Chain A
Amino acid sequence: MYAFEYHRPSSSKEALDLAAKKSEGKFLAGGQSLVQAMKLRLSSPSDLIDLGSVSELKNLKVEGNTVLVGAMVRHAEVAASPAVQKAIPALAALAGMIGDRQVRHMGTIGGSLANSDPAADYPAAVLGLGATISTHKRKIEADKFFKGLYETALEPGELITQVSFPAPKRAAYMKFKNPASRFALVGVFVADFGGNVRVAVTGAGACAFRQPDMEKALAAKFAPESVANIKVKSDGLNNDLHASPEYRAHLITVMAKRAVEAALK
Chain B
Amino acid sequence: MNAPLIGARIQRKEDYRFLTGAGQYTDDISLPNQAHAAFVRSPHAHAVIKKINVEKAKKAPGVLAVYTGADLAAAKVGGLPCGWLITDVNGQPMKEPPHPCLAQGKVRYVGDHVAVVVAATAEQARDAAEQVEVDYEVLLAVVDAAKARAKGASALHDIAPDNTCYVWALGDKAKVDEAFAKAAHVTRLDFVNNRLVPNAIEPRAAIGVYSRADEGYTLYVANQNPHVERLLMTAFVLGLPEHKVRVVAPDVGGGFGSKIYLYAEDVVVTWAARQLNRPVRWTAERSESFLSDAHGRDHVTTAELALDNNGKFLAMRVKTTANLGAYLSTFASCIPTILYATLLAGQYTTPAIYCEVTAVFTNTAPVDAYRGAGRPEATYVVERLVETAARELKIDPADLRRRNFIRNFPYQTPVALQYDTGNYEATLDAALQLGDVENFSSRKEESRKRGKLRGIGYAAYIEACGIAPSAVAGSLGARAGLFEAGEIRVHPTGSVTVFTGSHSHGQGHETSFAQVVADRLGIPIENVDIVHGDTSKVLFGMGTYGSRSIAVGGTAIVKALDKIIAKGKKIAAHLLEASESDIEYDRGEFKVAGTDRKKMFGEIAFAAYVPHNYPHDKLEPGLNENAFYDPSNFTFPAGSYVCEVEVDRDTGQVTIERFTAVDDFGKIINPMIVEGQVHGGLAQGIGQALTEGCHYDESGQLVTGSLMDYCLPRAGDVPSFKIDTRETPCTHNPLGVKGCGEAGAIGAPAAVMNAITDALGVKDLPMPATPQTVWRSLQQKAA
**New contact pairs (5) apart from A3-B123, A180-B712, A242-B709, CB-CB < 8 Å:** A41-B126, A179-B770, A180-B711, A243-B772, A247-B775
As a 0/1 sequence over residues 231 to 257 of chain A, the CB contacts with chain B under 8 angstroms (1 = contact) are 000000000111110010011001000
Which residue, A241, A243, A244, has most C-beta atoms of chain B within 10 A? A241
Cβ–Cβ < 8 Å partners of B771 in chain A: 176, 179
Pick the 5 closest A-B CB pairs, nearest first: A180-B711, A181-B708, A179-B711, A254-B650, A247-B772
Supposing A40-B287, A176-B651 touch, asked if A250 and B775 sit within 8 A by C-beta, the answer is yes
CB distance from A237 to the nearest CB of B (A): 13
Question: A1-50: which have CB < 8 Å to B?
Answer: 1-3, 40-41
Task: Kindly state the separation between the CA atoms of A42 and B55 in the bound complex, as whole angstroms.
Answer: 25
Choose from A2, A41, A181, A251 the contact partner of B651 (Cβ within 8 Å): A251
Considering the complex, give the chain B residue whose CB is closest to the CB of A228.
B650
Supposing A2-B127, A254-B650 touch, asked if A180 and B708 sit within 8 A by C-beta, the answer is yes
Asked if B184 is at the interface (CB within 8 A of a chain A CB), the reply is no
Sample 11 A-B pairs with CB under 8 A, ordered by A number. Answer: A2-B127, A179-B711, A179-B771, A180-B691, A180-B707, A180-B711, A180-B712, A181-B707, A241-B709, A247-B775, A254-B651
Cβ–Cβ < 8 Å partners of B710 in chain A: 180
Task: Kindly state the separation between the CA atoms of A49 and B770 in the bound complex, as whole angstroms.
Answer: 41
Considering the complex, give the chain A residue whose CB is closest to the CB of B693.
A241
Cβ–Cβ < 8 Å partners of A240 in chain B: 709
Cβ–Cβ < 8 Å partners of A180 in chain B: 691, 704, 707-712
Task: Kindly state the separation between the CA atoms of A40 and B123 in the bound complex, as whole angstroms.
Answer: 12
Task: Kindly state the separation between the CA atoms of A3 and B703 in the bound complex, as whole angstroms.
Answer: 29
Question: B99-146: which have CB < 8 Å to A?
Answer: 123, 126-127, 130
CB distance from B549 to the nearest CB of A (A): 32
Size category of the B interface is 20 to 34
Task: Kindly state the separation between the CA atoms of A171 and B54 in the bound complex, as whole angstroms.
Answer: 60
Which residue, A179, A241, A247, has most C-beta atoms of chain B within 10 A? A179
The answer to whether A242 and B651 have CB atoms under 8 Å apart is: no
Question: A173-219: which have CB < 8 Å to B?
Answer: 176, 179-181
**Chain B: residues with CB nearer than 8 A to chain A?**
123, 126-127, 130, 287, 650-651, 653, 691, 695, 703-704, 707-712, 770-772, 775-776
Cβ–Cβ < 8 Å partners of B709 in chain A: 180-181, 240-242
Interface of A is mostly: loop
CB distance from B536 to the nearest CB of A (A): 36
Cβ–Cβ < 8 Å partners of B770 in chain A: 179, 242
Considering the complex, give the chain B residue whose CB is closest to the CB of A243.
B772
Task: Kindly state the separation between the CA atoms of A28 and B771 in the bound complex, as whole angstroms.
Answer: 36
CB distance from B40 to the nearest CB of A (A): 14
Task: Kindly state the separation between the CA atoms of A41 and B284 in the bound complex, as whole angstroms.
Answer: 15
CB distance from B57 to the nearest CB of A (A): 16
Size category of the A interface is 10 to 19
The answer to whether B123 and A241 have CB atoms under 8 Å apart is: no
Cβ–Cβ < 8 Å partners of A247 in chain B: 772, 775-776
Considering the complex, give the chain A residue whose CB is closest to the CB of B697.
A241
The answer to whether A241 and B651 have CB atoms under 8 Å apart is: no
Task: Kindly state the separation between the CA atoms of A2 and B126 in the bound complex, as whole angstroms.
Answer: 9
CB distance from A239 to the nearest CB of B (A): 11
Task: Kindly state the separation between the CA atoms of A40 and B285 in the bound complex, as whole angstroms.
Answer: 10
Task: Kindly state the separation between the CA atoms of A241 and B709 in the bound complex, as whole angstroms.
Answer: 8
Task: Kindly state the separation between the CA atoms of A176 and B730 in the bound complex, as whole angstroms.
Answer: 48
CB distance from A249 to the nearest CB of B (A): 12
The answer to whether B775 and A241 have CB atoms under 8 Å apart is: no
Supposing A2-B127, A179-B711, A180-B708 touch, asked if A244 and B287 sit within 8 A by C-beta, the answer is no
The answer to whether B708 and A241 have CB atoms under 8 Å apart is: no
Choose from B126, B127, B650, B772 the contact partner of A242 (Cβ within 8 Å): B772
The answer to whether A241 and B695 have CB atoms under 8 Å apart is: yes
CB distance from A184 to the nearest CB of B (A): 13
Cβ–Cβ < 8 Å partners of B704 in chain A: 180, 241
Cβ–Cβ < 8 Å partners of A250 in chain B: 775
Task: Kindly state the separation between the CA atoms of A3 and B123 in the bound complex, as whole angstroms.
Answer: 9
CB distance from B406 to the nearest CB of A (A): 39
Cβ–Cβ < 8 Å partners of B287 in chain A: 40
Cβ–Cβ < 8 Å partners of B691 in chain A: 179-180
Cβ–Cβ < 8 Å partners of A176 in chain B: 651, 653, 771
Cβ–Cβ < 8 Å partners of A40 in chain B: 287
Cβ–Cβ < 8 Å partners of B130 in chain A: 41
